[in-house]
Structure 1
Amino acid sequence: MKPHIIIIGLGSGDEDQLTLGVWKIIQAADKLYLRTNQHPMVQMLTRNGIAYESFDAIYESYDQFEQVYEAITAELLVKAKAAASAGEIVYAVPGHPMVAEKTVQLLRERCPEAGIQLTLLGGESFLDQAFLRLGFDPIEGFQLLNGSDLSLYSLNPLLHTVITQVYDTLSASDVKLSLMELYPDEHEIVVGHALGVAGEERIHRIPLYELDHLQDFGNLSLVWVPRSEQERLRNRTFARLHEIVDILRSPEGCPWDREQTHQSLRKNLIEEAYEVLETFDEEDTDHMAEELGDLLLQVMLHAQIEAEEGSFNVWDVIAGLNEKLLRRHPHVFGAAQADNADEALVNWNQIKQEEKRKKGIDPDQLPLLSGVPRELPGLMRAYKLQKKAAAVGFDWSRLEEVIAVVESELLELKEAIASLSKTEQQEELGDLLFSVVNLARFLKIEPEEAMSTANSKFFNRFGYIEQQVRLKGRKLEQTDLQEMEALWQEAKKI
C-alpha cells in the first residue's frame, strides 16, 4: 500500500465550527499527529478519548521556527512510510491547512518526491473568525503578513492588514517598530486572541505605541491594522507620489507641469541636485529631506514624460536600478568576495565592462576619456579627465612639477592680458584653472569641495561686512573700499 498522509484543519478553536468530515477522519484515525496541542480543540479530543501525538517537544529542541518545521516534516515522512502497510496517518494543524502552515507547504513539496500520497481537507481558518468578529470585508483590500518576518516594504495603508505569529511581547515589539515606519504612534490597531472561541476570546483596540504593553499574547493572537485613506498615511507611500505626478501631467492637472519637457527641466535637475549638496553642510535634517524630495520630483517628472510617450515608466526605472545594483554587487548578493572598498570597486568596473560587451560595445576600442560626462561642472570634469589619464601613466611624477606648471600657466595668462586678446585670455585662464585642478589632485583634495569651502567663506565674510555697515545705518553703496577691507580683515578673525 502506498504511504498516505491526510492533513486536516482543526479550525479556529470553536467546536461547533469543526466540519463533520474532519471529525469523522479524526475518529477513524489509527495514527493522529498534531503539530501542537496548544489549541482549544485538543480539549474535545481528550473528552472523546481520542489518542494523539503532538510535536510540541520539537519546539523545545530548536531555536528557529524554520528548523522546527523542517524537523516535523521529516518525521512525518518517516512515520508515513513506516505506517504504509497499516494505512494512512492523519496530521492535524490549527485553522486551515493552507493558511499560515509552513509544514503543510513543505509536505506538498516533498511528498511527491518521497512517493507519498497527500490529501488535504480544510477547516475553518482563523481568518474566517477575523472577518466575522472584527467586522471587515476582505474585498475592500486585504493582506496577511507574518509577524516574525514583517517588513516595511510589505505595508500598504489602503489594505486591511492582518499580522500573525505575534505570540509574545517580544514579537509584538518587533511588529510595532515595523509598523511605526509607516503609521503614527497613536494610530489605532486591534489585537485579537482566540477569536470565536467562547470564554477565551479577547479583543483590544489600542494605539499602536501600546502594542507591546499587552501581556496576553499567545499562539492564537493576531494584529489587525484597518485600511485607511488618511492623507498623512497615503502621502508616505511611493504609489501616492506616482499618482500625484501623473495627475499633475494630466489634461486636468497643472498647466505648467503639462508644458514641461526634458529640455525645459534640464536646469531644474541640476539646480535641485546642488541644493541637496548645500544641505550637507547644514545641521537641518528637515531641510535636507525637503531638498531630496525636490530632487526626486525631477526624476519622477522625467519618467512620467517618457511614460506618456510609451517608452518607459518609473517602474521600469526602478526595476533597471534594482537589477543593476544586484548585478554589480556580487560580493553582497552573489558568491564573489570583496573585503574592502577597493575590491568592491574592481568588481563593479569589471561588471560594467562585461555589460558593454553584451551590448556589442568593445570597451577596449572606446576612447579612454569617453566615460566622463560632458555636462559635469568644469572643475569636476577636469578632475575626472586627469584622473583617468593618470591611470595609464599620463601624469607628473612630483608635486614640484605640478606647481611649476601652475606658475607657468599664470605667466602665460599675464602675457595674454597684456596682449588684450579676449580669446587668448579665455584660453589661458582655462589652462590655469586646469593646472590648479591638477594641483588639487596631487594634494588629494576634491577641487569642487575646495571651491565650495572658498565660496562659503566668502559668503560669510562678505555677509559680516554687510551686517556691520547696516548697524551703522548705512548701505554698502555708501561705504568705500578701505572701510570694507578693514571689515573684511575683522571677519577673517572670527
Structure 2
Amino acid sequence: METTKQKITVVGLGAGDLDQLPYGIYRTLKQAAHLYLRTQEHPVVGQLRAEGIAFSSFDDTYERHESFEEVYADIADQLFAGAQQHGSIVYAVPGHPLVAERTVQLLLQQGANRGVEIEIGGGQSFIDPLFARLKIDPIEGFSLLDGTALRPDQVSPGLHTIIAQVYDAFVASDVKLTLMEILPDDYQVTVATAVGVAGQERIETVPLYELDRLDHFGNLSLVYVPPTRDERVSYRQFSYLKEIVAILRSPDGCPWDREQTHQSIRKNLIEETYEVLETIDDDDPDAMCEELGDLLMQIMLHSQMAAEDGYFTVDDVVAALNEKLIRRHPHVFGEKSANDSEEALANWQEIKAQEKAAKGIDVAAASQLSGIPRDLPALMYAYKLQKKAAQVGFDWDDVADVYAKVEEEYRELREATEEERAGELGDLLFAVVNLARFLGLDPEEALALTNNKFKQRFSYIEEKLRAAGRSFAETDLTEMDQWWEEAKQHGKRRG
C-alpha cells in the first residue's frame, strides 16, 4: 500500500485585500482542510474570517522568543509537525512566499530531510505596488534587505534600497542606527505601510533621525531609502576611493600620479608610516585619522599600479588579508583553542610554518635569522636579530653580563683607531640594544622618547632667545646650558 506523501503548500496573501488576491490562491485557501497563517495582521485575514474560512496563526509564537530567528525556526518546526499529523497542510504568508519570508526558506532547506514536499503556490509581493506608488524604476538598481538583521555593509547608497520586516518601533530604531553609520542624520527616508490597501495605506517621508518616532509600523511596513551621490555619503565609501585613485592614474588624471612607479613612491610609504607613528606618540586621534588616510593612499596607489600591469587589484589585497586572518586564527574562526596570548601566538607561528612548507620552503634548512625585513631601521633590525637568536638559546644568562658587555664595547670604542671607530660604535650600539631587550624595553621607542625630550629642551632655549630678542650668534654655550637645565627642571615639574 502506497503511503501518502506529506506536503506543505505555501501561498502568498499578497500586498492588498481580497480583491487583489489571484483566484487560484483564493481557491487554495478556501479548500484547505488545515490552513496556517504566519500572522493575522494582514488585510485579507478579516475577509477570510468573514467568509467562514478556518485557520490557525503563529502570532503567539512571536511572544515566546527573544529573537526573530528563534521565532522562524519554531514556526517551521510546528509546520512540519502539522504536515506529519495531517499529511497535507496550507501555509499562507504576507506578500509572496519567496520574498522576505525566512520561514519559507527554512521549509525549503529542511523539507527533503524531513520527508515533506514543499510546494510554492505564488502570490503578489509588496515590491510591485511599492514601486508603482513611489514611482521607482527598478532597472536603476535596487536592493531588498531585512530590517531585523540589517548590517551597514549591506547598504549600497547608490541603489534604491527597500528594507522589509520593519515590524515595530524597536526594529525601526535598529534600522535607524545602522543607516546612520552610512547616511547623514537628516537624510530623507520614506516609511510605507499597507501600500495599495484602501483605508490603511500610510506613506510618510521623514529625516532619518525621526524614523522610529512614527506610529504606524506593522507587518506591512517598509522603509525606502532613495539612492544618493551626496559627498557626505560617497566620501565614506571604499568603492569611491578606488574610483578616485583610478581616475588620478588615468590618461585624464593627474600628470604627477600618472608618472609614478612602485620604486618612485617607495620612500613615501616609509615616510607616511612614520607620520602615523608620530600621531600615536602624540596621542592625537584626529591627526592619526588623517595620517592613516595618507598611508592608505600609498597602498591604493601601489595596488592601482599593479592592477594596470595585470598583477593584482586592491580587492585581491583585501581578499588575501581576509583569508590569512581567518586561516591564522583557528582559535577564533576554527576548532582550535587559545586561552592566552602565548597560545594564540603559538598557533600563528605553527600555521606560518605550514604555509612556508606548502610553498616549498624548507623551514628546517632556513636560517634562524631569516624572515626579518631587510629595510628595517638598523636599531630595530638589531633588536629582531637578537630576539630570534635568543629563541634558540644564543643569549646572555644574566643582565649583569650585558652591562659588562656594554662597558667592554665602550672601552674598545675609546681605544679604537680612526679606521676601527665605525665598527666599534656599531658593536656598542648592538650591545645597548641587547641591554634594552633584557630590560624589557624597545630601543626604538626609548630613543624616540629621548629625541622628543631633546626637541622640547632645545625649543625652550629658542623661546628664551626669542623672548630676549637675540639670536644664537648672540649667546654662548654657558648660557644655553643654563637654559637647558631650566628646561629639565620645567619638564620634571610638568611630569
- TM-score band by shorter chain is over 0.9
Tell whether 2:423 aligns with 1:420.
no
Map Cα deviations across residues 175-211 of structure 1 (whole Å, 9 max, x no partner).
1221111111111111122222222222221111112
Work out the CA distance in 1 between the residues paired with 2:476 and 2:170. 71
Q: What corresponds to 1:389 in structure 2?
A: 389
2:476 alignment partner, one of 476, 480, 493: 480
Tell whether 2:6 aligns with 1:3.
yes
* Alpha carbons 2:248, 2:257 under 8 Å: kept: yes
Counterpart code for 2:173: S
Work out the CA distance in 1 between the residues paired with 2:285 and 2:186. 24
Counterpart code for 1:46: R
Map Cα deviations across residues 354-407 of structure 1 (whole Å, 9 max, x no partner).
111111112111100001111111111111110111111111111111111111
Counterpart code for 1:466: E
User: Structure 1 pair 368/318, CA: closer, same or farther in 2 (3 Å)?
Assistant: same
Post-superposition offset of 1:15: 2.9
User: Structure 1 pair 477/220, CA: closer, same or farther in 2 (3 Å)?
Assistant: farther
Work out the CA distance in 2 between the residues paired with 1:452 and 1:213. 53
Map Cα deviations across residues 404-458 of structure 1 (whole Å, 9 max, x no partner).
1111111111122xx222xx21111111111110010011001111011111111
Work out the CA distance in 1 between the residues paired with 2:244 and 2:70. 46
Work out the CA distance in 2 between the residues paired with 1:374 and 1:115. 63
Map Cα deviations across residues 63-111 of structure 1 (whole Å, 9 max, x no partner).
2222222222222223223333xxx421100000000111111111222
State how 1:200-215 maps to structure 2 within 5 Å: 200-215=200-215
Post-superposition offset of 1:41: 1.1
Q: What corresponds to 2:493 in structure 1?
A: none
Counterpart code for 1:420: E
Q: What corresponds to 2:32 in structure 1?
A: 29
State how 1:44-123 maps to structure 2 within 5 Å: 44-84=47-87, 88-123=88-123
> What do you get for the CA RMSD once the two structures are aligned?
1.4
TM-score normalised over the length of structure 2: 0.95
Work out the CA distance in 1 between the residues paired with 2:185 and 2:381. 47
Q: What corresponds to 1:408 in structure 2?
A: 408
Q: What corresponds to 1:12 in structure 2?
A: 15
* Alpha carbons 2:326, 2:333 under 8 Å: kept: yes
Of all paired residues, the percent bearing the same amino acid is: 57
Map Cα deviations across residues 118-172 of structure 1 (whole Å, 9 max, x no partner).
3212211111222122222222121111122111111211111111222222222
Secondary structure of the residue aligned to 1:275 is helix
Counterpart code for 1:126: F
Query: Which range moved further: 61-70 or 430-439?
Result: 61-70
Q: What corresponds to 2:305 in structure 1?
A: 305
Work out the CA distance in 2 between the residues paired with 1:368 and 1:179. 51
Work out the CA distance in 1 between the residues paired with 2:386 and 2:469. 50
Q: What corresponds to 1:266 in structure 2?
A: 266
Work out the CA distance in 2 between the residues paired with 1:489 and 1:52. 91
Query: Which range moved further: 370-379 or 275-284?
Result: 275-284
Secondary structure of the residue aligned to 1:263 is coil
Structure 1 segments of 4+ aligned residues over 6 angstroms from their partners: none
Counterpart code for 1:445: L
Work out the CA distance in 2 between the residues paired with 1:199 and 1:258. 62
Work out the CA distance in 1 between the residues paired with 2:341 and 2:283. 28
Q: What corresponds to 1:461 in structure 2?
A: 457
Map Cα deviations across residues 217-252 of structure 1 (whole Å, 9 max, x no partner).
222222111100112211111101111111111111
Q: Which runs of 5+ in 1 are unaligned?
A: none
* Alpha carbons 2:58, 2:75 under 8 Å: kept: yes
TM-score normalised over the length of structure 1: 0.96
Work out the CA distance in 2 between the residues paired with 1:181 and 1:394. 52
Work out the CA distance in 2 between the residues paired with 1:237 and 1:305. 21
2:487 alignment partner, one of 481, 484, 491: 491
Q: What corresponds to 1:199 in structure 2?
A: 199
Tell whether 2:426 aligns with 1:430.
yes
Secondary structure of the residue aligned to 1:364 is coil
User: Structure 1 pair 114/159, CA: closer, same or farther in 2 (3 Å)?
Assistant: same
State how 1:9-408 maps to structure 2 within 5 Å: 9-84=12-87, 88-408=88-408
Work out the CA distance in 1 between the residues paired with 2:404 and 2:214. 75
* Alpha carbons 2:35, 2:55 under 8 Å: kept: yes
* Alpha carbons 2:184, 2:232 under 8 Å: kept: no
Work out the CA distance in 1 between the residues paired with 2:261 and 2:56. 70
Q: Which runs of 5+ in 2 are unaligned?
A: 491-495
Counterpart code for 1:102: R
* Alpha carbons 2:183, 2:233 under 8 Å: kept: yes
Post-superposition offset of 1:283: 4.3
Secondary structure of the residue aligned to 1:89 is strand
Work out the CA distance in 2 between the residues paired with 1:133 and 1:476. 78
